[in-house]
């Protein structure tokens, strides 16, 4: 499986939902496979929080349902992740708030005007990628034939919002952050935030059974240091804040066509949809997914019965990945 080199689509100045303009908006992406003559075999995979195209490919390959021998697969980077337009590219703390809907509109422009895609056979993604999939299906219902949101939601809950405010608070409390105008990375804030964040994606059962050892870590402290601290101190702090802002913006009911009516927004989705929450996910519990499934006309609920929590959809646990692949295979066969 050999993707093309990462490419960048230049969208020009983009007017955002917040009213600001993202000057010289750029969306970075990689592709696998070839677009067919009908231009309708495309599959879109948006990245997750903190992720890039490089670690969003675990559902793609020969033998997987998303097989580049059959499909034209586009893995697209969300704004703020350090690859697509991000604070770290120069604007720093002045980077505007880019919503999930803003991302989807830019991605739609990339697909239709640059890549020549007529229809998406599938939009699939994990976490913020799943949130993006819901927005795709609501914003462009005639364009998305199938949708597979994994461990995500069509809007961010109050509980999720509060969690994100806690993480933001830890980071900005570091004096080195300096309102986003730092000269040196706020390492203490990033490191402390990483340790606080570590309690959320994996479940209590993950820790109870020491599943971190299956990932190569020898102890909880080793796991916290070598995974969480290393990962988050390697991020630009303003990029983290930008992605938190994007995550918190998510609500398909707030789209102009629906005027705040979340149920109407869900009913507008015509894609054949398989919603895959994890039963132990602290961010996006199955109860929220049940509400979404009940309102979307062609939706099915397929819970991932795993103790890996939010990470069940991340490609880290082979059994969970096999379950997700099987659901996508069945969806694509419809």
Buried b / exposed e across 55-70, counting CB within 10 Å, b at 16+?
ebbbbbbeebbbbbeb
* 169/152 Cα distance (integer angstroms): 23
Give the ranges where the chain is alpha helix by DSSP (H). Answer: 100-109, 128-139, 158-172, 187-197, 204-208, 220-223, 230-233, 237-248, 262-267, 286-295, 318-333
Q: Which of 249, 289, 310, 314 is catalytic?
A: 310
Helix 128-139 and helix 100-109: axis angle, to 10°? 70
* 123/146 Cα distance (integer angstroms): 6
Contact 133, 149 (CB under 8 A): yes
Contact 182, 188 (CB under 8 A): no
* 317/130 Cα distance (integer angstroms): 18
Q: Which of 174, 281, 288, 320 is catalytic?
A: 281
310 in active site: yes
Nearest Cα to 181, choosing from 172, 193, 190?
172
Q: Which of 86, 99, 127, 289 is catalytic?
A: 127
* 66/59 Cα distance (integer angstroms): 6
Contact 226, 217 (CB under 8 A): yes
Residues noted as catalytic: 127, 281, 310
């Amino acid at each position: 499986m050999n993707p093309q080199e990462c490419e960048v689509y230049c969208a020009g100045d983009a007017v955002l939902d917040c009213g600001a303009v993202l000057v010289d908006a750029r969306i970075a992406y990689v592709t696998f496979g070839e677009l067919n003559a009908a231009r309708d075999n495309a599959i879109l995979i948006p990245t997750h929080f903190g992720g890039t195209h490089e670690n969003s490919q675990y559902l793609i390959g020969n033998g997987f349902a998303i097989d580049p021998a059959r499909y034209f697969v586009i893995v697209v980077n969300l704004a703020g992740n350090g690859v697509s337009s991000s604070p770290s590219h120069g604007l720093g703390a002045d980077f505007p708030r880019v919503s999930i809907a803003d991302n989807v509109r830019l991605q739609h422009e990339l697909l239709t005007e640059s890549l020549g895609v007529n229809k998406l056979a599938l939009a699939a993604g994990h976490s913020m990628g799943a949130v993006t999939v819901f927005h795709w299906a609501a914003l462009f219902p005639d364009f998305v034939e199938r949708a597979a949101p994994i461990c995500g939601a069509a809007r961010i809950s109050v509980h999720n919002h509060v969690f994100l405010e806690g993480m933001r608070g830890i980071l900005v409390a570091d004096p080195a952050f300096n309102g986003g105008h730092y000269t040196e990375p706020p390492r203490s804030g990033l490191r402390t935030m990483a340790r606080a964040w570590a309690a959320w994606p994996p479940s209590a059962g993950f820790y109870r059974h020491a599943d971190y050892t299956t990932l190569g870590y020898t102890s909880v402290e080793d796991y916290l240091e070598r995974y969480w601290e290393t990962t988050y101190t390697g991020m630009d702090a303003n990029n983290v804040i930008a992605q938190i802002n994007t995550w918190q913006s998510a609500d398909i009911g707030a789209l102009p066509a629906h005027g705040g009516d979340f149920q109407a927004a869900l009913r507008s989705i015509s894609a054949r949809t398989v919603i895959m929450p994890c039963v132990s996910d602290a961010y996006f519990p199955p109860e929220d997914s049940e509400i979404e499934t009940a309102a979307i006309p062609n939706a099915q609920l397929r819970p991932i019965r795993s103790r890996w929590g939010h990470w069940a959809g991340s490609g880290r646990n082979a059994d969970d990945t096999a379950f997700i692949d099987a659901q996508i295979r069945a969806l694509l066969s419809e």
